[in-house]
Structure 1
C-alpha cells in the first residue's frame, strides 16, 4: 500500500513537461487578442473607352476623293488633296496603302507594238506617285507603292487632329511608246490604327 504522504521527487522530465503545458496554454491564450482595424471605400470609379474615327473630306464615305485621268502622256502630272481628320478621342498611327491594282494593255497601236510586243500593260511601272502634304513625303512608282505599302504618314495623329494629305502623280518625260493606250485602276486607302498604350489618361 502506497503512502498517501509519499511525494514523488521532481524530476527533470516532469519539470520540462509542466513548462511545455504552460507554454501551450499561453499560446492558445495569445491567439484570442483582437487588433485595431479600419476599412475605407472609394466609390464612383469608372472606365470609359475612347474612340478612333478617321474621316476623309468630312465623312466616312469620301466625296470628291477619286482620281480620274484620261489621255495622259509623258510629261503630264496632277494631284489630289484630301482632308483627313481623327474625329475620335485617342491617338492613332496614320498610314496610306495602295492596293487592288489592275492594268490593261489597251488597243496596242503600232508604235506600242514596236516598243512592247506583249502589250501586257506598263503604266504602273512608269507612273510616279508622291504622297505628302502635311505629312511625311515619299515618292515611288505606282507598282512599288502597291508592292511595298502601307506607308506611315503620321506616327501619332491625336484625337480631333486634322491635316491634308496630297497624292501627286506624274509620267516622266523620258517614258516612251510602251505605255500608249495602257490603263490602270487602283485604290488609295488611308488607315488610322491605335498607337499602342494611350498616354492621355491621368
Structure 2
C-alpha cells in the first residue's frame, strides 16, 4: 500500500474515532430545571416615645419626678432583649463641686405598666433602683438583667408591632447633709436603648 493511501486511511480512521466520541457525548438523556430563590432579612426597629423622657427645672434635694415612656418595636423581627447605655454631663455653675451630681440622682425603675394594675407610684413596685453614676458605670447586660428582664422577657420579648409602657422615677436624694455645691448645676442625661434579636430558628 502506498504512503498516500496509508495517510488517507489514517485520517479517515481518526475522523471516525472523533465522530464516535462526539456522538457519544450526546448519547445520554438529560433535563435541566432552574430554581429562583430569595433570602430577605428582617428588620429590628426599636423606638422610644417620647424621645425626651425628662426635662425639669428648679429641683431641690428631696424632689422626685415620675415619668413614663414607650418602647416600640416597629420592625418585622421580635426583640428578645433591650440594652441600656447611660451617659451624662454635669455643668458646675460655680466650679466648686467636689462630688458628682450623678451620685445624688437616684433612678427607680417600676414594674411594666402592662403587667401591673396598681399604678407605678408605690415603693413596693420598684423593680430596681440605682444612682445615675452607678448606672453609667454598669454594663448594658447588667442593666438589661436587672431592669428589662422583669419588664420584657417574662412574656417572651417585645414582639414586632408591639410596645411596652414603662415607668421610671428620678429622685434628687436628700442625704441630710450639706448639698449646697449643686445649687444652679445642671445634668444632661443620655439614654441609648438597643434592641437585640431573638435566637435563630428553623424556617
TM-score of the superposed pair, with normalisation by structure 1: 0.61
**What residue in structure 1 maps to residue 133 of structure 2?**
143
Alignment of 1:93-108 (within 5 A): 93-99=81-87, 101-107=88-94
- Mapped to 1, the partners of 2:47 and 2:94 lie a distance apart of 39
- Mapped to 2, the partners of 1:39 and 1:91 lie a distance apart of 43
Alignment of 1:17-28 (within 5 A): none
- Mapped to 2, the partners of 1:42 and 1:48 lie a distance apart of 20
State yes or no: 1:130 paired with 2:132.
no
After TM superposition, give the deviation of residue 79 of structure 1 in Å.
Answer: 2.3
- Aligned residues of 1:85 and 1:160 also touching (Cα < 8 A): yes
- Indicate how the Cα distance of structure 1 residues 160 and 175 shifts in structure 2: closer, same or farther if over 3 A, else same: farther
- Mapped to 1, the partners of 2:70 and 2:129 lie a distance apart of 20
Higher alpha-carbon Rg: 1
**What residue in structure 2 maps to residue 33 of structure 1?**
none
Instruction: Tell me which moved more, 159-168 or 43-52.
Output: 43-52
Secondary structure, in 3 states, of the residue corresponding to 1:125? helix
If asked which structure has higher relative contact order (CA below 8 Å, sep 6+), I would say: 2
Moved over 6 A (4+): 38-42
State yes or no: 1:191 paired with 2:179.
no
- Mapped to 2, the partners of 1:175 and 1:88 lie a distance apart of 47
- Indicate how the Cα distance of structure 1 residues 40 and 138 shifts in structure 2: closer, same or farther if over 3 A, else same: farther
- Mapped to 1, the partners of 2:165 and 2:159 lie a distance apart of 14
Alignment of 1:1-202 (within 5 A): 43=35, 45-57=37-49, 62-63=50-51, 65-92=52-79, 93-99=81-87, 101-107=88-94, 118-134=96-112, 137-150=127-140, 151-152=143-144, 153=148, 154-155=152-153, 156-179=157-180, 180-181=182-183, 182-197=185-200, 199=201, 202=203
After TM superposition, give the deviation of residue 52 of structure 1 in Å.
Answer: 0.8
- Indicate how the Cα distance of structure 1 residues 42 and 90 shifts in structure 2: closer, same or farther if over 3 A, else same: farther
Structure 1 unaligned regions, length at least 5: 1-37, 109-117
Aligned residue pair count: 151
Structure in which a larger fraction of residues adopt helix: 2
- Aligned residues of 1:52 and 1:90 also touching (Cα < 8 A): yes
**What residue in structure 1 maps to residue 27 of structure 2?**
none
- Mapped to 2, the partners of 1:196 and 1:43 lie a distance apart of 29
